[in-house]
């Protein structure tokens, strides 16, 4: 039954509206256990993804490095390769020369030692002999420090 207002209009009941809002709700013990397990699962997944990201980063860097090497090889028409080079003596200059096997070009040098220079002269002598022992140092008798015998009267 509707009630009438003094101006002659009828009164309608108020409309009920609903709205979703996040509000704090106390968790039961079972819910707390469930949330703890879910949190642990998240932690494990995070660590696995971090490890995967790290591995992917290393893979990307390796591919970038190789791409750069290939770019330099294409630009220069050369690339770095491992070659089995040989050290050859040059007695006139008293050095060893490191030579490439393909072009015979000298790519490095090092000075000869006395053993290097005489090794060919004395093949039967072992060049790896130990060094002769040093002569013992002479033992000096310790001297006693000078003593003050008397102070002159003029200094006092």
CA distance 118 to 28: 91
Write the pLDDT tens digit of every residue in 6-62.
Answer: 565 667 777 888 999 999 999 999 999 999 999 999 999 999 999 999 999 999 999
124 vs 119, more confident: 119
SS3 61: helix
Tokens of 77: 């028409």
Closest by CA position to 106, among listed 117, 93, 115: 93
Question: What is this structure's pTM?
Answer: 0.44
Domain residue spans of the chain? 29-80, 81-128
Residue 24: how many other CB atoms lie within 10 Å = 5
Question: pLDDT for 78-123, tens place per residue?
Answer: 999 999 999 999 989 999 999 999 999 999 999 988 888 776 666 5
């Amino acid at each position: 039954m509707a009630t009438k207002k003094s101006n002659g209009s009828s009164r309608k009941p108020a409309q009920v509206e609903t709205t979703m809002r996040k509000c704090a709700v106390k968790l039961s013990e079972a819910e707390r256990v469930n949330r703890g397990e879910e949190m642990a699962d998240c932690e494990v997944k995070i660590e696995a993804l971090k490890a995967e990201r790290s591995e992917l980063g290393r893979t990307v860097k390796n591919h970038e490095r190789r791409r750069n090497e290939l770019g330099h090889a294409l630009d220069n028409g050369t690339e770095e390769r491992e070659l089995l080079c040989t050290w050859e003596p040059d007695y006139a200059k008293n050095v060893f020369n490191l030579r490439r096997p393909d072009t015979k070009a000298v790519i490095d040098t090092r000075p000869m030692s006395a053993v290097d220079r005489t090794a060919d002269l004395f093949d039967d002598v072992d060049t790896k002999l130990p060094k002769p022992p040093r002569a013992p140092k002479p033992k000096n008798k310790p001297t006693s420090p000078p003593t003050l015998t008397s102070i002159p009267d003029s200094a006092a």
